Amino acid sequence: MDLPIAFRLLVAVFCIVAPSLLFVGFVRVLDRMRDDDLVNRVLERVDEQPSGAPGPAAVLTGGAVDGSKSNLVTCSNCGLPNAGYAGYCGNCLAALDG
């Protein structure tokens, strides 16, 4: 009679305390994952601009991140600024010399 009551109390205490401990452990695991070296390396790779190749941000935005207008070629026919790699104007389809 005494043992089942102690057992029930143990189960009750476990059911009360265990979720809190699991939550704290879960948060600590997430903190450890956030401070992981791999995450830092990935964040550094996103920020850095490798020599020659455009970074991920430049690829996603079509190279408009740096805001450099040196690679724009103005169409001699209609005056529309086109990308430097374009062979023909996007507006009037005139051949671009640049």
Which positions touch Zn ion (CB under 5 A)?
75, 77-78, 80, 89, 91-92, 94
Q: Which is nearer to Zn ion, 40 or 91 (CB)?
A: 91
Report the nearest approach of Zn ion to the CB of residue 98 (Å).
Answer: 12
Q: How far apart are CA 83 and CA 91, in angstroms?
A: 12
Closer CB to Zn ion, residue 40 or residue 77?
77
65 phi/psi in degrees, rounded to 5: -70, -45
Q: Least distance from C-beta 96 to Zn ion, angstroms?
A: 8
- Give the type of residue at 25: G
Minimum separation from the CB atom of position 95 to Zn ion (A): 10
Q: Which residues of 2-14 are buried (b: 16+ CB within 10 A; e: fewer)?
A: eeeeeeeeeeeee
For Zn ion, which is the closer residue by CB, 24 or 95?
95
